[in-house]
Chain A
Amino acid sequence: MTAEFLAFLVVAAAAVSGALITLWSKSIVRSAFGLILAFLGVAGVYALLGCAFLAITQLVVYVGGVVVLYLFGVMLTPPDLEERRASRVSFWAALGLVSLVLFSISLFGTRLPSSQGKPMGDAAGIGEALLTRDAYLLPFEIASILLLVVLVGAVHLARREKKKAQENAEGEEA
């Protein structure tokens, strides 16, 4: 057992146990922290595969952004107290486990390409690919439009309607 394999086991265990915490935990806050653990584990997997840039992106965007977003959402909504559904979770988890076992039997019988690839791209290579015509310039541009639309639309949804509130108040006064 090499050091790399050991490292893989550690990060994979982190990812899986984080996911399981998300699944089983009774409090939604704890689930969110489980999710952080899972994301950290996945970031570790990226690092193990030689994708340092991706691992850092994962840390920054997911852990820094998405999960914080969730935590905000959790804080803004009252605690969901109905957690008497443990039996249902167990049922689905059992079903998931069975299908996972079935799939993994065939998975380990599958002949996949060996994983002795070349070193993965570094930040410079990725940046160059993103901005080159024959590589990924177009997706980059599409994504920028997408983000613009999402930004404006989400602001519209999230913005408080001052006018409406005023109108309502006036209506009540009258």
Chain B
Amino acid sequence: MSQLQAYIKDLGWIGPELVLAATALVVLLVELYRRGRKSGWSLGLALVITLAAGFGLSWLGRTFSAALGRPVDLRLDVAVLGLVYVLVTMGDLWFKGDKWDRLVPGLVVLAGTLLAGYYAVGLMSALSADPKGTSVFGLQLVDSYSVYFKLLALVSLLVVTLFTMNYRDLKRGFGEYYLCLVGAHLGIMFLVSSNHLLLIYLGLETLSLSSYLLAGFRKEDPRSAEAAVKYVIYGGVASAIMLFGFSLIFGLGGSLDLVEIGRHLAGTAQGSNRVLVGLGMACTLGGLSYKIAAVPFHFWCPDVYEGAPTPVTTFLAVASKAAGFAVIVRIVAVLGQGPGWLEKVTSLMAVASALSMTYGNLGALHQTNVKRLLAYSSIAHVGYILMAVAALFGAATAGEGGTFHVDPRAAESILYYLGAYMIMNLGAFGAVIYIAKSAGSEDMDDWWGLGWKLPVVSGVLVIFLLSLTGIPPTVGFYGKWLLFRTAIAGGFLWLAVLAAVNTVFSLFYYFKVAKVLFLKPAEESRGVTVRPAAVMAVVLVALGLLTLFFGVLPSALESLAGASAAAL
């Protein structure tokens, strides 16, 4: 009995994940029902299962608030939201037609995401008292660090779903698409909260396998197929290498638990098995670097970003990358704490940082396909963030027992930048979807003068580009400011200077886009034939306002990032 109680309590802590999993199942069921339209019994089955999901959700709300104890009582809220969720799902079952085929699964995912986000926010506030949180099932860490990343993932899922609902190039298989998308985010959520090698591997594979499928989702488009194959091949190799690293680290660190591994490995830098440990660390970090597309594991990135459907690219560039960073930071924090390993791990990161930012910027300079340009830009941004990962231990001074501790300010700057990066990249990719649809092309050369035809979206795109460059008053500027500060305070002045030089370079290609949009009069532009739905523009404007808001008043996001970093 007590096992069952403990089990239910643990379930409460992973509420957001459960909601997402339920959403995935509901999407699948709804899709199945819609495929075999006429059959009455399948409607009945779908209704029953949806209702069950709804009751399950409100039950979850109860266990959830029980698990949290005092701070929040979500029972009623969750019940109401669960009801809305059920109504959305059931209501949509009645609508028929191609338009609804596109809309329905998206709406279900939106509802589920909002509900999961509500859980996550509740968790966040419950954790404000004790950021270290708790360990559930003995494997998962529910601390404010992981919940921060879960929130990022949910925001990304929300926006990507909205983008997908307005992405006309995706013609069928919506149910499968959303199942993969939700599955990928589910993988992220498990990944970011794992403190255990097996969970990291499982979460990563859930994320990766879903991403491979998503990248190739537009079957009729050979470019999408090519993207998928490149992604799956490089991804498979990278995850195998990472796993081999895991196997060595497990054996030599004597545990599957990251914290224990760190403790064991701290003193091995001088021992006889340092070569093997080093090989394990190199394989682990190298395999993980693939996920964030850091040089030299970036080969897949431009091709995949260009070929994949744009909403998927958005997801890969934003949520997938943030998850990669979440786990890399956790692992670096563990592997770098040993006195002899600190310099090795951090200098590895510093070199990857320098290479990534330089390579990304040089590669972006001559691109004309905007998605490809943003791909290279994202490699450059990985470089900027890695700069702070290299300085993760600050001006390291050994604590008790000769081990080093993470500088919370450095971790905070990484978390803040990832949030900033997410906002501005969601916006940038969304604007690209919008403008590319209107222009009928992703190539900049077809965009001349379009800014005058689409002033709102082009205007906010300029804001996102400013933010990506790092010009105030935008969220990107403040994020970069934090990273620079971290790098300089951590003794990586040369990296900061290199990043500064790179920033100036990056202006050139970011503003190539702005130039194309506005520096030719409207008369010289290609006509706008299609105009995407207005909701898309609304989302983009909202993201643009967020970019400016967090640029002028960064403290709001910063305090959240700071509180989350405290858990590390």
Name A residues whose Cβ lies closer than 8 Å to a Cβ of B. Answer: 103, 106-107, 109-112, 133-139, 142-143, 145-146, 148-150, 152-157, 161, 163-164
Contact = CB atoms under 8 A, between A and B. Distances in A.
30 contacts: A107-B275, A107-B276, A109-B272, A111-B272, A112-B251, A133-B3, A133-B6, A136-B139, A136-B198, A138-B137, A139-B139, A139-B198, A142-B202, A142-B203, A143-B202, A145-B183, A146-B205, A146-B206, A148-B179, A148-B183, A149-B183, A149-B209, A150-B209, A152-B176, A153-B179, A153-B213, A156-B176, A156-B213, A157-B219, A164-B220
Q: Which residue among B6, B198, B206 has the maximum number of chain A CB atoms within 10 Å of its CB?
A: B206
B382 interface: no
B202 A161 contact: no
A154 B216 CA distance: 10
B187 A146 contact: yes
* Consensus secondary structure, chain B interface: helix
Contacts of B113: none
Contacts of A138: 137, 139-140, 199
Contacts of A107: 275-276
Contacts of A152: 28, 176, 179-180
A157 B6 contact: no
Interface string B177-216: 0011001001100100000001100110110011001101
B303 interface: no
B107 interface: no
A145 B276 contact: no
Interface of B: 3, 6-7, 10, 21, 24, 28, 137-140, 172-173, 176, 179-180, 183, 186-187, 190, 198-199, 202-203, 205-206, 209-210, 213-214, 216-217, 219-220, 228, 251, 271-273, 275-276, 279
A98 to B, nearest CB: 15
Contacts, number: 98
Given A103-B279, A153-B213, 6 more contacts: A139-B139, A149-B183, A149-B209, A150-B210, A152-B179, A153-B214
A137 B140 CA distance: 12
Given A133-B6, A142-B202, A161-B219, A111 B273 contact: yes
A46 to B, nearest CB: 14
A153 B187 CA distance: 15
A136 B202 CA distance: 12
Contacts of A146: 183, 187, 202, 205-206, 209
A139 B187 CA distance: 11
B3 A149 contact: no
Nearest to A149: B183
B190 A142 contact: yes
Contacts of B180: 149, 152-153
A156 B205 CA distance: 19
A139 B183 CA distance: 14
Nearest to B184: A149
A145 B206 contact: yes
Contact of A153 (B6, B138, B176, B273): B176
B273 A110 contact: yes
Contacts of B213: 149-150, 153-154, 156-157
A133 B205 CA distance: 22
B114 to A, nearest CB: 21
Contact of B137 (A109, A134, A155, A157): A134
B30 to A, nearest CB: 13
A135 B138 contact: yes
Contacts of A150: 209-210, 213
A149 B275 contact: no
A106 B280 CA distance: 14
B138 to A, nearest CB: 5
A103 B276 CA distance: 8
A156 B199 CA distance: 27
